[in-house]
Structure 1
Amino acid sequence: MDIALFSPSSLFAQDEDPSPGEDGLRETGTHQSYVERSHVFPGMDLLIREFSFHQLNANLLWPGTFAFAEWLVQNRHWLEGRRIIELGSGTGALAIFLQISFGVDITSSDFNDEELEENIAHNCRINGRSVLPHIRHSWGETFPITDPDWDLIIASDILLYVKQYPNLIKTLSFLLKSYKPKEGSAGPGSYHDEQTQTVSERGVELPCPAFLMSWRRRIGKEEEALFFTGCKEAGLSLEHLGSRVYCISLRKTTNVQSQHK
């Protein structure tokens, strides 16, 4: 069973059918309306421009973004020294927050869509930051970089469309299985061995490379299971870290030993 198409703008009822010029609404050169909102992240407020509607549903911040930001703050040791790419960046808010908070090396990524890339760049600039590196890539298509060197992939609330699971798993598998450490890099974390596994100061092991996914949007268990089953069939392992955060990694890599089971 597939999930019906809908716009996440329904999460923000106060913005339904806004009148032109109200609540900070603007018009882009393509007559796309958007609004700049101040959003509260851990320790800071970010001004984020969101489209009132976008055909790719990458227009607004999902509630899970903030929950994942809180979780990452509590587990920031897993971000240290990592080269990070975010899948499904949308507005770029989470990537911008992590770059400001922890100075991480992070790349945003979303559909192969110029408008989304420009909006993420805009959100970087209005928050006084340099524009983040960005990869335009629609899941399932050939990835534009042949030797990915991101050792940590993150994503929040990206399991909405069941028909996209095979494409998402194809992209995820490529990023994990084709990973090559950046030349001259000492590796992430406090330890780096021949199996590219890191050990944090808390004694909790996080594979390298790894995919951390926060999934807050509730869908049917049967649909959700399709993604996890697809990952296993693709040779990936899955660990639930608690708070609906999952770690997906190569099966041959030692699994995360979580304190939050």
Structure 2
Amino acid sequence: MDIALFSPSSLFHDEDATSSDEEKVDDSQTYVERSHQFPGMELLVREFSFHQMNANLLWPGTFAFVDWLVQDKSKIQGRRIIELGSGAGALAIFLKKLYQVDITTSDYDDQEIEDNIAHNCKVNGVTPVLPHIKHSWGDPFPNPHSEWDLIIASDILLYVKQYPNLIKTLCFLLNSYKPQNTATHESQDTHSELPRPAFLMSWRRRIGKEDESLFFTGCETAGLQVQHLGSRVYCITPTKSAICDICD
């Protein structure tokens, strides 16, 4: 995967209102602990001082996504959720604490990322820790059948060259999903704004319009539908007759 030529910390050049001014740095300078303010709660998040996959800091899109999600809890309650590009795990931890949702974290195949998410779960009172799947986009997914009816992500469109691999993973998760309980599935759908399955993502403007177009065009070519829900939040779903050639 390409390595970013800038540090995500540059996105926080102004003091972000969602983060505290105080930082705790451990003796080895490997981690930084920051208090971040989320709607209705404060989370203490241990972040890498640096990580080559940009899994070290909370990206701005996380907070924008949270603001959108909490407007209506029916968007996510009762769903089985997996987050792609979980990073430090803050979004998943917040949703678990606020709504007690069934949520799994996922990120690049890296043990340090998994261990750090587990640490952040524990210090914020989420025990047992959230289930985690190590998965590099485009590789065969560890679970042969998708168990999640809602996939979420924020600020994951940085690496343009990874779009085909991301779309391949999305195709698998969306097209291989089968509800575990059809009756419950249909009943819950009547109360949900989002179809099952669906990929819900948000980000702050960090890429050019041409790059955005590459991703959305790639999704449509792969048999996925793209819907803009507002506030830079997008819902991506498989077409009814989707045959995802890119997954072959």
Q: TM-score range by the shorter chain?
A: 0.7 to 0.9
Distance 1:3 1:132, change over 3 A: closer
Q: CA deviation at 1:11?
A: 2.5
Alignment match of 1:220 (pick from 200, 208, 211)? 208
Give CA deviations for 1:120-158 in whole Å, capped at 9, x if unaligned: 000000011111000000000010000111000000010
Other-structure match for 1:258: none
Alignment match of 2:169 (pick from 165, 168, 171)? 171
Structure 1-normalised TM-score?
A: 0.84
Q: Is the 8 A contact 2:64 2:203 kept in 1?
A: no
Other-structure match for 1:53: 50
- Secondary structure at the residue paired with 1:132? coil
Query: What residue ranges of structure 1 are gaps of 5+ in the alignment?
Result: 16-21, 193-197, 254-261
Map 1:41-120 to 2 at 5 A.
41-120=38-117
Q: 2: distance between equivalents of 1:107 and 1:185?
A: 23
| CA RMSD across the alignment | 2.2
Q: Is the 8 A contact 2:3 2:53 kept in 1?
A: no
Q: Is the 8 A contact 2:60 2:203 kept in 1?
A: no
Other-structure match for 1:5: 5
Q: 1: distance between equivalents of 2:240 and 2:182?
A: 25
Map 1:15-30 to 2 at 5 A.
23-27=23-27
Other-structure match for 2:125: 128
Alignment match of 1:199 (pick from 169, 190, 197)? 190
Q: CA deviation at 1:12?
A: 3.6
- Secondary structure at the residue paired with 2:214? helix
Other-structure match for 1:259: none
- Secondary structure at the residue paired with 1:38? strand
Q: 2: distance between equivalents of 1:3 and 1:24?
A: 26
- Secondary structure at the residue paired with 2:37? strand
Identity %: 69
Q: CA deviation at 1:65?
A: 0.4
Give CA deviations for 1:157-215 in whole Å, capped at 9, x if unaligned: 10011000000000000000011223588227xx35xxxxx2336xxx42100000002
Q: Is the 8 A contact 1:3 1:162 kept in 2?
A: no
Q: 2: distance between equivalents of 1:122 and 1:175?
A: 27
- Secondary structure at the residue paired with 2:240? coil
Q: CA deviation at 1:82?
A: 0.4
Q: CA deviation at 1:80?
A: 1.5
Counterpart of 1:97 in structure 2: which amino acid? F
Distance 1:3 1:47, change over 3 A: closer
Q: CA deviation at 1:226?
A: 0.2
Other-structure match for 2:246: none
Query: What residue ranges of structure 2 are gaps of 5+ in the alignment?
Result: 16-21, 242-248
Q: 1: distance between equivalents of 2:99 and 2:105?
A: 16
- Secondary structure at the residue paired with 2:70? helix
Alignment match of 1:232 (pick from 207, 216, 220)? 220
* Residue correspondences, number: 233
Q: 2: distance between equivalents of 1:186 and 1:246?
A: 26
Give CA deviations for 1:66-91 in whole Å, capped at 9, x if unaligned: 11011111121011110000000000
Q: 1: distance between equivalents of 2:51 and 2:135?
A: 17
Q: Is the 8 A contact 1:81 1:187 kept in 2?
A: no
